[in-house]
């Protein structure tokens, strides 16, 4: 795979008018191939692999658990350009909790694939529902898409916000509002 991708990058460099044999570009094709393999490493993982038995019984906790401002970096499937931002995740346990770092790892599994932000949001919700069957779960992603920044409309400050809510976050307006208030608060944490 690495050799094919390296050769493809050399061809691309030639197509844009560069000399892949000049000093500054000699190692670029292989570096690019390795970087792309890392940025798409989510294809070789599933959420169950990164959760790794970090689901625990917790019958006593029935309130919202929120992890916010988790950095994500993904690549738009339409232009293969990055989009970067933060994800906020909340859930209400229904007898099970998940290790907090596993929420970030689930986000990484799906963001390290060619993506659209809308699907990424839903896939994270789906994975959490499957892993812990919460009373409710919500995911909000805020990001900047380089396909809108570096080309096309070239709008540097534009942010895209997507959300997906399930369970009581979808059916109970008060619970949904509490989740959105928590993620929008500017606390020092």
Cβ–Cβ under 8 Å, residues 118 and 73:
no
Rounded distance, CA 116 to CA 92, Å? 26
SS3 125: helix
> pLDDT tens per residue, the chain (189 residues)?
999 999 999 999 999 999 999 999 999 999 999 999 999 999 999 999 999 999 999 878 889 999 999 999 999 999 999 999 999 999 999 999 999 999 999 999 999 999 999 999 999 999 999 999 999 999 999 999 999 998 889 889 999 999 999 999 999 999 999 999 999 998 655
User: What is residue 85's DSSP assignment?
Assistant: E
- Compute φ and ψ for 73, nearest 5 degrees: -140, 125
């Amino acid at each position: 795979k690495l050799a094919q991708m390296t050769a493809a990058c050399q061809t691309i460099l030639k197509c844009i008018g560069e000399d892949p044999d000049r000093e500054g570009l000699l190692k670029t094709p292989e570096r690019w191939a390795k970087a792309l393999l890392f940025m798409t490493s989510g294809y070789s993982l599933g959420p169950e692999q990164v959760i790794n038995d970090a689901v625990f019984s917790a019958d006593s906790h029935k309130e919202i658990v929120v992890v916010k401002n988790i950095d994500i970096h993904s690549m738009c499937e339409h232009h293969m350009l990055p989009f970067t931002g933060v994800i906020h995740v909340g859930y209400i346990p229904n007898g099970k909790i998940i290790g907090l770092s596993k929420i970030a790892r689930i986000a990484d599994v799906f963001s390290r694939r060619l993506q659209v932000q809308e699907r990424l949001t839903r896939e994270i919700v789906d994975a959490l529902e499957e892993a812990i069957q919460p009373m409710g779960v919500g995911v909000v992603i805020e990001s900047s898409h380089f396909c809108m920044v570096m080309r096309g409309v070239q709008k540097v400050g534009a942010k895209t916000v997507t959300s997906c809510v399930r369970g009581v976050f979808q059916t109970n307006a008060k619970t949904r509002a509490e989740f959105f208030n928590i993620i929008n608060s500017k606390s020092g944490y």
